């Protein structure tokens, strides 16, 4: 979040300059103090974010993490907070403008995925590729993010198995049960490959030898 904030600040410095300029009186604008003030604001924010990114014990960073932890606990255990969040969620989802925006996001995402599937190299060379590269580098350098991501992945997998394990098992079982003999044979041949022919030959030979041995023992006894 801190690194995202630094990048966002860098890309939107002009908005801060414009905001200070618009809210300054004529004398301040005439003397150029508005530009000096906005430069100091940007520099101060940039310095603060840089310090927070480097120092894990930075007081403001600790306060933000404590606030996020408290919010997470409240969302899980505080009925009042849960109700407020649910109300805001329902109001947003009922808003027609939000619905149109979500539909647009879905369509854009779907189109981007289809385009990327047809030409992965083009996607990785663009903005998404840059973000993926940055995220990969961040994972390689930040042990805290690694632990957090691993913990989230484990919880997600356990939760998915707990919620949908029986459904997935039933789906697979029903699907295989509906296959005929030819379909099963084709699937096995595709999965095993040429080795399946050797397995068949070996099975026939071994089965035949065992049958002859059993018959011989039966005759002799």
In this structure, how many other beta carbons lie within 10 angstroms of the beta carbon of residue 38? 20
Q: Which of 57, 55, 42 is nearest to 5 (CA)?
A: 42
pTM over 0.85: no
What DSSP line would sit under 87-145, residue for residue?
HHHHHHHH-HHHHHHHHHHHHHHHHHHHHHHH-HHHHHHSHHHHHHHHHHHHHHH-HHH
Cα 14 to Cα 1: distance, rounded to the nearest angstrom: 21
Residues 74-93 have pLDDT tens digits of 999 999 999 999 998 888 88
Residues 28-57 have pLDDT tens digits of 777 778 888 888 888 888 888 888 888 888
pLDDT bucket at 126, cuts 50 / 70 / 90: low
Cα 170 to Cα 187: distance, rounded to the nearest angstrom: 19
């Amino acid at each position: 979040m801190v690194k995202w904030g630094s990048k966002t600040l860098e890309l939107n410095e002009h908005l801060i300059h414009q905001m200070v300029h618009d809210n300054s009186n004529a004398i301040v604008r005439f003397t150029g103090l508005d530009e000096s003030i906005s430069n100091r604001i940007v520099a101060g924010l940039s310095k603060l974010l840089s310090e927070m990114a480097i120092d894990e014990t930075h007081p403001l960073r600790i306060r933000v993490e404590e606030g996020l932890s408290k919010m997470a606990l409240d969302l899980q255990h505080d009925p009042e907070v849960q109700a407020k969040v649910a109300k805001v969620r329902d109001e947003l989802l009922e808003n027609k403008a939000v619905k149109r925006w979500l539909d647009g996001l879905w369509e854009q995402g779907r189109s981007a995925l289809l385009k990327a599937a047809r030409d992965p190299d083009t996607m990785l060379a663009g903005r998404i590729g840059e973000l993926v590269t940055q995220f990969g580098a961040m994972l390689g350098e930040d042990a805290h993010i690694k632990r957090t991501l691993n913990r989230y992945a484990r919880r997600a997998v356990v939760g998915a198995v707990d919620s949908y394990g029986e459904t997935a098992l039933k789906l697979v079982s029903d699907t295989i049960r509906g296959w005929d003999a030819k379909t099963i044979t084709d699937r096995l041949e595709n999965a095993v490959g040429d080795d399946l022919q050797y397995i068949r030959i070996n099975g026939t030979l071994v089965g035949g030898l065992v049958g002859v041995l059993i018959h011989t023992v039966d005759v002799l006894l």
